[in-house]
Structure 1
């Protein structure tokens, strides 16, 4: 059968990798070097850290590239990475950099590299992460370890925008041979150095022994993209992978019985949702979009498709998100009769047919959940043409606004300003044509308020508009399930991706 042949091919490729990287060894063998094989759902899309903005890319990039600051879920606040400290006001922000931070090339990181990196992230010829271009007016380096940013308007959420904006070596980027793609070797400050990327096969990184925070304990990481759940499971159980993501919930009991494997679970800050693009009729009709929301039985999705491994969303974000009003639940009940009434009021009492796109292997049981949703929509008369393109193609279609109904996720939504700007603020993105001037005004207003107590009710009002207009149907926060070899010392993060920079292999 097809699945079995895929599993065999992937197993063979991992065996080949084991020999190819000798004397580096897989976890558990008694040699000097420690190599971790990670099986995840989708491949890296680019070596340019600004050309894509999906968590699947950040999961790999973050090992050899670093941002100024990032959100720490354990501490429930932003913490410095390359930035030692910062201050923000209505006029702008100032960042003080750590000294003696070295790039993999050996050169010291300075404010010049930070400004170069932020500027290229704002350049549409070099980046798809151009959100900063709308809020940064100018940048200066008063000294080698200070960066001052003047914003076009006050931006309280700048740290959220910078969380995944990685800092590159300006000199190395310009010497790479192709500045747009960084040639074949991005140079950062991270705990691992990039070695190679073979598209569809593997990404390899090796330890940076001079890492400014202290050398990692693992010598080499090899990431293998494996879309099929059964294939990832087979890699782990055969000993060819040390850690896998997106374990199917129905397989957890079986894995618990395996003495060589352990499971790790964590509630993710990622939101899984449907995007309903008003550019595609009849989704331009608000009543139709609301009908779709009432037609979806979220409890059934969680219980029967995900085996209870998710938390349904009645609001927008879940408990990790700032601005969530837990008392506002306009779609708390599954109501297919209400959905039919809304469709009839919109002039579609006999239903309609529409295209529905989903990823495969990116999120836990993404295709199965989307198929279940398609079945629920069919019960109220909405027939879907179901599409499951490869991840890179899916993302390109999504970004260009060619997916009428789109099943997808957004990782690590803490401060939702960046997310709302990217998806729902008028004229910002082609992902959706949604536009509401009142929502835009509220979003822009809350962005300028540095007093959180005053900011929160304005953000809540914007979220209420979004839920009522329904260009998005929030579905659930997933429980991320990982499976690892027992000797791998590693814990998952709420932050939606595998980070093994601090992992180790325990002694027998």
Structure 2
């Protein structure tokens, strides 16, 4: 009886959700962009703290960085607050344009210094990419300087190349904050974090008017923006986590964009009149993280058995769809320097033999934690069924973004499904999350490090990654990148890439000029909308 009623209750719940979506009175106004999305992981709007994709989308439109990656031009580094820059053997010097924050305060090089020092001193997970480049809370103040109001200089550590540093400077965590405004709100030495979690202090094309967690984000045009007044007066992000509800809202014009649809609902809009699909390649992955601190998962043979117990092709076809493609090497298959995929897949008999050899002929029990968000929940259910075939009994625990992310950072899990992005559009940029863990000790408390969270100790791979990250000779760097990938596969990774990650976005054709950014940094200040038909 229980198995009979459960799907009926689920179907009834979905029908009630759709039934209670408010009826559209009129199409969205031409001067407003309304986005239906999931805001479940938007936990803080502090640009030196928030790293979730939806948070980055908000911060991208409320803050500027010195440079940005131009997704309209091959993701090359382009000027933003910096008009130009000079690269020497030991530093990059940026020359700033005249710009103002939303407060009216001028943007100065001192604000850039404050922002990067703040990033490292807060010492949040968001500082991970700068840490892997060699910056730290201890050395950052000696590495950055402002010779004058329009000149900012940052020194190279020995572990980073100029292009890798420039790509880091384009990330959301390198957003320039209004130091004068933020310092008015410092509380007990928190660098203004408590205030910036729910307020903005940027120079971007929009300002934050309202944020209600798990409900609504409203941005208003910054009429004094240095690049010109945005074409849109307002941007609204509505929390619509139920895919069927979002699909219905987009179809009848209640929203202009839906970016948290299930694979099947994305397919619904494929080739449908009045709509387009923007499938954005992120360079990141959906990952099965295994806690190598657990006895069973510390064994590489067990991890290899798990890697050979998953029907990647079947899950891609039936669940992941437009969200990804099967790939177990942490470099997208069509990126320069990517190696061939290993022959991993759903091989239950081979996996059972591996488990028996490892001392687990009868399998064992694990818990799999996952954010309640498409497509990861269905992915978890499929993996649960796959692993049951080889005797690994999995219990799924769903949770909100705060709960699951906290568990991941605290190493409080057996299995967990996170997602990654590449900080730069190169093989080395994609690898960075997977190939570096300089100190695996619990005392390191390096929660910002993706591999550390899985307690996977990889000193040899980490050393190779350091060499590659500092190598300026392109051919030598590529040889190191190839070696890293090969050793990663040979080690039966505890951070198992399963699917190269795409962000499929369904848009009304009324929206003109939208182009999704691979790192989630999609700006909308130049978007226009046509009249409703």
Return the TM-score normalized by structure 2.
0.84
- Shift of the 485–420 alpha-carbon distance from structure 1 to 2, 3 Å rule, reads closer
User: 2:487 — aligned with what?
Assistant: 465
User: What count of residue pairs does the alignment treat as equivalent?
Assistant: 489
- Shift of the 345–127 alpha-carbon distance from structure 1 to 2, 3 Å rule, reads closer
For residue 350 of structure 1, report the CA deviation from its aligned partner.
1.2
Equivalent position to 1:97, from 95, 98, 120: 95
- Structure with the largest fraction of helix: 2
Contact 1:89/1:154 (<8 A) preserved:
no
Matched, 1:161 2:168: yes
- Shift of the 253–295 alpha-carbon distance from structure 1 to 2, 3 Å rule, reads closer
Contact 2:331/2:430 (<8 A) preserved:
no
Q: Secondary structure at the match of 1:409?
A: coil
User: 1:380 — aligned with what?
Assistant: 390
Long gaps (5+) in structure 1? 19-24
Q: Secondary structure at the match of 1:47?
A: coil
Matched, 1:209 2:223: yes
Alpha-carbon distance between aligned partners in 1 of 2:218 and 2:60, rounded to the nearest angstrom:
13
For residue 206 of structure 1, report the CA deviation from its aligned partner.
0.6
Matched, 1:341 2:353: yes
Contact 1:176/1:185 (<8 A) preserved:
no
Contact 2:302/2:354 (<8 A) preserved:
yes
User: 1:62 — aligned with what?
Assistant: 60
Q: Secondary structure at the match of 1:205?
A: strand
Alpha-carbon distance between aligned partners in 1 of 2:426 and 2:93, rounded to the nearest angstrom:
20
For residue 468 of structure 1, report the CA deviation from its aligned partner.
2.2
Matched, 1:185 2:199: yes
User: 1:218 — aligned with what?
Assistant: 232
Which stretch of structure 1 is more off in the superposition, 76-85 or 167-176?
Answer: 76-85
For residue 221 of structure 1, report the CA deviation from its aligned partner.
0.6
User: 1:175 — aligned with what?
Assistant: 184
Alpha-carbon distance between aligned partners in 1 of 2:280 and 2:55, rounded to the nearest angstrom:
20
Matched, 1:123 2:136: no
Q: Deviations over 1:254-281 (max 9, x none)?
A: 4357644443334442322211220122
Q: Secondary structure at the match of 2:297?
A: coil
Matches within 5 A, 1:26-175: 27-28=28-29, 34-43=31-40, 44-73=42-71, 74-88=73-87, 91=90, 93-124=91-122, 128-133=126-131, 135-136=134-135, 137=139, 138-156=143-161, 157-162=164-169, 163-164=171-172, 165-175=174-184
Long gaps (5+) in structure 2? 1-11, 440-445
Contact 2:279/2:504 (<8 A) preserved:
yes
For residue 181 of structure 1, report the CA deviation from its aligned partner.
2.5
User: 1:506 — aligned with what?
Assistant: 530
Q: Deviations over 1:180-229 (max 9, x none)?
A: 23354211111111112111211111111221122211110111122221
User: 2:299 — aligned with what?
Assistant: 285
- Shift of the 309–394 alpha-carbon distance from structure 1 to 2, 3 Å rule, reads closer
For residue 58 of structure 1, report the CA deviation from its aligned partner.
0.5
- Shift of the 439–57 alpha-carbon distance from structure 1 to 2, 3 Å rule, reads same
Contact 1:490/1:502 (<8 A) preserved:
yes
Alpha-carbon distance between aligned partners in 2 of 1:89 and 1:383, rounded to the nearest angstrom:
56
Alpha-carbon distance between aligned partners in 1 of 2:391 and 2:326, rounded to the nearest angstrom:
24
- Shift of the 125–287 alpha-carbon distance from structure 1 to 2, 3 Å rule, reads closer
Q: Deviations over 1:310-368 (max 9, x none)?
A: 3221422204656522x3x323554222222221111112111111111222xx42211
Return the TM-score normalized by structure 1.
0.88
Q: Secondary structure at the match of 1:175?
A: helix
- Shift of the 419–121 alpha-carbon distance from structure 1 to 2, 3 Å rule, reads farther
Alpha-carbon distance between aligned partners in 1 of 2:58 and 2:415, rounded to the nearest angstrom:
28
Which stretch of structure 1 is more off in the superposition, 313-322 or 458-467?
Answer: 313-322
User: 1:22 — aligned with what?
Assistant: none
